[in-house]
Amino acid sequence: MGIIKKGEDLAKILGVDLDKLPGEVQEFLLGQVTKKLDDEKSDRAAFKAELEGYSDEDLLVFVPDVYQKSIYKIDYGKLKENGIKLISFDIDDTITDSAWNKVRGSIPSVKVTMPDDAKELFRNLKSMGFTVTLLTNTKSSIAKR
């Protein structure tokens, strides 16, 4: 069993066969994954600290009118009936897991791709006449993939 495999099969998540890689490469990748995850934790902690400076009233501006647990559970037909023409999706943590995308995006030759069910959803929305936009604040090199 490889050095990196613990609990969840990290090799599968990253899309590489780590058992075929030398131990030094596995250790390097583990270091890269750990660094990316630590950076993500740090970014989230900094954002949380920034939000603590706002009053509850200030934060209400950012609360959506409607919440759905999944983009696949939304009644898009109803949105269409109500005159909605444009739908924007945040890629990070809405369509895909941003932490894993950052990790995978930092490994040469590992592709970060849109999940097939998301691709199908966007095709369906376009066929319904919606304009679909994808938003992200991740690195452009990851977003382009």
Please state, in angstroms and rounded to a whole number, the distance separating the CA atoms of residues 15 and 8: 13
Angle between helices 23-51 and 98-105 (to 10 degrees): 140
Residue whose pair of structure tokens reads 């759905």 in the numeric block:
68
133 and 105 fall within a common domain? yes
* β-strand partners of 132: 87
Check if the beta carbon of residue 127 is closer than 8 Å to that of residue 80: no
pLDDT of residue 88: 86
35 and 49 fall within a common domain? yes
Going by the DSSP 8-state scheme, the letter that residue 92 receives in this structure is B
Domain housing 49: 1-61
pLDDT top residue among 1 and 101:
101
72 and 142 fall within a common domain? yes
Examine the fold and report which residue of 41, 61, 81 is the final residue of a domain before the chain moves on.
61
What Cα–Cα distance (Å) separates residue 12 from each residue in 18, 110, 119? 9, 11, 21
Q: Count of domains in the chain?
A: 2
pLDDT surpassing 60 at residue 77 = yes
pLDDT top residue among 128 and 34:
128
16 and 85 fall within a common domain? no
Of 109, 93, 105, 115, which Cα lies nearest the Cα of 144? Answer: 105
pLDDT of residue 104: 61
Region 32-38: mean pLDDT is: 78
pLDDT of residue 130: 96
- What percent of the chain has a predicted confidence (pLDDT) above 90? 17
